[in-house]
Amino acid sequence: MTDEPDGDKDVRPQKPPLQPMPWGRYVVWILVFLAITQFWANFQQREERQQISYSEFKEKVRAGEVASVTLKGDRLTGELKRAESQREPADKTLPPTHFVTTLPPVEDPELMPLLEEHKVNIEAKPGDEGWGARLLVLMLPWILIIGLFWYAGRRMQERMGGVGGMGGGAGGAFGFGKSRAKRFERGESTVTFEDVAGLENAKKDLQEIAGYLRDPEHYRKLGAKIPKGILLMGPPGTGKTLLAKAVAGESDVPFYSISGSEFIEMFVGVGASRVRDMFESAKRESPSIIFIDEIDSVGRARGTGIGGGHDEREQTLNQILGEMDGFDPHEAVVVMAATNRPDVLDAALMRPGRFDRKITLDLPDKRARRSILEIHSREVPLDDDVDLDRMAALTVSFSGADLENLINEAALLAGREDKPAVDMACLLLARDKVVLGGEREMVIGDDEKEIIAYHEAGHALAASLLPNADPLDKATIIPRGRSLGATEQIPEEERHSLRPSYLRDRIAVMLAGRASEQVVFNEISTGAEEDLKQATTLARHMVTHWGMSEKLGPVAFRRGEEHIFLGREMAQQKDFSEHTAQIIDEEIGELVRKLEGEVRELLEKHRDQLDMLAKALLEKETLESGEIQSILKREKKRKG
């Protein structure tokens, strides 16, 4: 009776395990052979010489039988003279013409005069280090050569030991063309969708992929085809790589992970060869997942750049396009890619049939931030006073990676202060460190400290008085990060659509520090550099991107856009005239100057409150929002 193979069992032939290359064994045998050869050479050399005593040597010198001697350390070797009339005996053997003797430990004063008297040729050499030293000197070049070959062999083994194994193929010399992708076995990825907080819509889309990979036959019966490519797009730290690992963990299939930059080498054609090798390995083990992180490093638009479009990066991209479009229908291989620059990707890469599904990952909202904090604090002991809801409200615009870093910083602070658990104070300090930077110890004079206090008091007062500004959280004159002081505002809710009134008040708060210096000291300082940059950038976007200029109207201009990369910027055609560019400059300048004048008038009107805030900052250095509101109410009540 013949056993039939189980239909669910994986009967694909398994590749033999990678065997180590036997370079070490070869090196050992070569060294042994060289040692025996050198030992035998020394032995033969010693056998050809006649060993005589020192007294016999002196007798031969007196008899005039010694032609030359060589002094080397405590050994003396020499050559005997042969008489021309000497004939070869019947056995055709002659006594050795070379001899060797050992010099006495005490120098013989008669030796040199005796040798000179009988006209013996004398040669002196440095002391003999022994046959071991001579063997080492003889073998040293061979050791270096063999070591070089051994190192090259090891490097070849490492390069050829990728997913493609040690096979030949298109890898080229030393396996440069083999894929660098890291392979994770079935079940090796322990990350699941439960470990990913938030991103509910993205997880729904990816759960379909995981279900298809777990049971492809179920979907094939329904006539469904698996998407060939899934592109994860979003800001850094939003969980693109984590989602890819979760899909691998949920689907329980082989997972190949590689960064886009790992395809490119200095050799032409290596990137395309690595792409072929990786896709061949994934096809052999389908269903499987290929994850390419930072795909924008190889997937940028072709035909751009100063040097033309025919370069190694484009050859790699062409190979990726060909592999993705050349899948057979029965091959369940899903290509996942992640990028935070989808705008630079090639159009052929983005079309249906390549990356069929595009998933956008946004920064987490308040509820998602709370869940992320819970996940990252699982292994961290938290004190009873920790309020994760408040921390979620205080971490607007934080990504998942930022929240993980926040918990880690809080744990480090608790360890530094030798606390048994992480309390709320540690979390708040960690948040300030992440947002504002670490505190710096600087020696600041009283005059300069007063300028900084009025600068931050101006920001704080404007944020408190302007109706559309974000709520004030704290103001400090303690140097943090690159700044000498900071005033922080935290919005009460997520903002996705910004109104002109909100943007104008936001710019006014940025300019309030500089305006406060003008009001109090009648001059400005260099402390407003970063404020001016942010205010100008926001004003430029209002004028050129969002149509918030009355003079220009509802028209968008590409002025002020970030450089995508050099080639595309050079290829862009200027879509407005020089006259329009002059109007744009005038509108931006007028908007900023007008808002600065308005906030200066506001601070002059509330000069008493400005002085009280600056005085409190000089005394306490840091004021929370409650303290600031208390000071403002007290001063308002006193004036009323």
Whole-angstrom CA distances from 125 to 66, 71, 79, 107, 358 are 19, 6, 16, 17, 82
In sequence order, which residues have a C-beta less than 8 Å from that of residue 277 and are 6 or more positions away?
162, 163, 164, 169, 170, 171, 177, 178, 179
Cα distances (Å, whole numbers) of residue 145 to 5, 141, 142, 152, 207? 53, 6, 5, 11, 56
Radius of gyration of the chain (CA): 41
**Nearest CA to 507 among 597, 583, 613, 614?**
597
Distance (Å, rounded) from C-alpha 331 to C-alpha 352?
Answer: 18
Separation of alpha carbons 602 and 225, rounded Å:
64
Q: Residues forming the annotated binding site?
A: 234-241, 455, 459, 531
Inter-CA distances, 213 with 257, 280, 288, 293, 421, Å: 17, 18, 8, 21, 43
Greatest pairwise CA separation for the chain in angstroms: 142
Residue 12: what are its φ and ψ, rounded to 5°?
A: -65, 140
Q: What are the helix and strand counts (H, E) for the chain?
A: 21, 14
3-state secondary structure (DSSP) of residue 127: coil
User: Is 456 designated active site?
Assistant: yes
Nearby residues of 629 by Cβ (< 8 Å), 6 or more positions away: 464
Token representation of residue 634? 């007290």
491, 432 in Cβ contact below 8 A? Answer: no
Active-site choice (262, 409, 456, 488): 456
Which residue, among 321, 605, 267, 630, has the nearest Cα to 472 in the 3D structure?
Answer: 630
> One-letter amino acid identity for 403?
L
Strand partners, 100: 51, 77
Bond into 467 cis (ω within 30): no
Do the beta carbons of residue 437 and residue 483 sit within 8 Å?
yes
Cβ-contact 430, 487 below 8 angstroms: no
- Binding site members for Zn(2+): 455, 459, 531
Q: How far apart are CA 431 and CA 578, in angstroms?
A: 46
- 577-586 long-range contacts, CB within 8 A, separation 24+: 580/552, 583/551, 583/552, 584/540, 584/543, 584/544, 584/552, 584/557, 584/559
Binding residues for ATP: 234-241
Q: List active site positions.
A: 456
